[in-house]
Amino acid sequence: MTHWMFNEEHNMFRNSVRKFVEREIVPFVGEWETAGEVPRSIFERLGQLGYLGTKFPVEYGGAGSDLIMDAIFNEELTKCGSSGIGASIVAHIGIALTPLWRFGNDEQKIKYLKPGIEGKKIAALGITEPNTGSDVSSITTRAVDKGDHYLLNGSKTFITNGVNADFVIVAAKTADGPGHRSMSLLIVETDWEGFSVGKKLEKLGWHGSDTGELFFENIKVPKENLIGTVNEGFKYVMINFQWERLTMALSSITLAEKALEEAIRYSKERLQFGGPLTQFQVLRHKMVDMAVEIEKARHITYRAIYQYDKGNDVTTEATMAKAYSAEMVSRVCDQALQIHGGNGYMMDYPIQRYWRDARIQSIGGGTTQIMNEILTKKLQITSN
């Protein structure tokens, strides 16, 4: 469906990305899902076409466009049918490179952001730890000030692109005291002594992306690799969460659309009791309900994106979008699989992948329960 948020330039960009995805990603989805990662050549190809730098400044190789372009890129990537492939690429530009762009200095942007935009270096963001998930302020990875460098020790887990990244933006404690006042972001190159990948993690869904556990053992991180101001990392992470949650809402909506399209196609082709499944009103109405849910999520999310692009604080709107869309996609994919009956449980049909990929949406980027808790505070529902 068309939407007032998109202009002609946006629509032309969407058509360009869509053709690229259909030509250079869709034919290889099965291969990359089996391999468990996106090949480097795709990052480089996306960089050559300028798709990785839509929102980034021209002086670092970007296009200097609005964030709506970035949102379109996210949507069209997800339409390839593998949320893992989209997650790997979006984690690179939206989660890892974004804080570098927003809070890094010129030297850091030239050294890391520019090759990231070109697709020559892959980036990851390291926040989650084995014992620290939604409670970001409780991280234990520590960077001790040694004068001209920090000595980094600790570990991270569930890190998208963690296995193949060239550098990781690492959240670490740089002082004693409350985590929200003692956290910093450091750029760590993965070929430095003391860095290691524990293993490539096997996941229920998102098979098209590599996810790793990372270890830091006495890594010497130069002071010039500190992003922004020391002990301000928690604030940077929270600011970046707004866009991360909006991108997850977008991918949830697009994945739900794919599931609905597959359910409609299948219900027209599958013959039961002398006719196609669409002869049954209960199934037709079920698919209508799915379409309505998708549109509700889309408009909540698009409104938040529009406001965010205007520079407004959309903590409430982005949180609502993420909470609703992430739960919606699981409901829609589950219903789409149900419409497939026994075939939906078979690996030969793509609906099983959509169903598996949908489950992470209400966990990653902050669980639905955390989203709801944020909203109780923003809406002043709490008693204190």
Instruction: Output the pLDDT for position 133.
Output: 75
Do β-strands 142-145 and 271-272 pair in parallel, antiparallel, or remain unpaired?
unpaired
pLDDT tens-digit profile of 281-309?
Answer: 999 999 999 999 999 999 999 999 999 99
Distance separating alpha carbons of residues 178 and 184, to the nearest angstrom: 13
Sign, CA dihedral 234-368-352-90, equals negative
Instruction: Output the pLDDT for position 236.
Output: 95
261 pLDDT more than 90: yes
- This prediction's pTM: 0.94
Residues linked to residue 160 through DSSP beta bridges, in sequence order:
211
Q: What's the pLDDT band for 383 if we cut at 50, 70, 90?
A: low
Q: What is the set of domains in the chain, with CATH numbers? A: 8-122 (1.10.540.10), 124-230 (2.40.110.10), 234-378 (1.20.140.10)
Q: What is the 3-state secondary structure of 134-203? A: CCHHHCCCEEEECCCEEEEEEEEEEEECCCCCCEEEEEEECCCCCHHHCEEEEEEECCCCCEEEEEECCC
Question: Where do runs of H (alpha helix) occur along the chain?
Answer: 8-24, 29-35, 40-48, 67-78, 83-90, 97-103, 106-108, 114-117, 233-269, 281-309, 315-340, 351-358, 368-378
Distance separating alpha carbons of residues 71 and 26, to the nearest angstrom: 20
pLDDT tens-digit profile of 129-184?
Answer: 998 877 888 899 999 999 999 999 999 999 999 999 999 999 999 999 887 899 99
Q: What's the pLDDT band for 384 if we cut at 50, 70, 90?
A: low
1 pLDDT more than 70: no
Q: What is the mean pLDDT of residues 77-101?
A: 96
2 pLDDT more than 90: no
Q: What is the mean pLDDT of residues 336-343?
A: 97
pLDDT tens-digit profile of 187-227?
Answer: 999 999 999 999 899 999 999 999 999 999 999 999 999 99
Instruction: Output the pLDDT for position 3.
Output: 87
| Of 76, 244, 257, 293, catalytic | 244
Instruction: Please say whether the beta carbons of 76 and 17 come within 8 A.
Output: yes
Instruction: Please say whether the beta carbons of 208 and 161 come within 8 A.
Output: no
Q: Is 118 known to be catalytic?
A: no
Name the residue with tokens 């003391």: 194
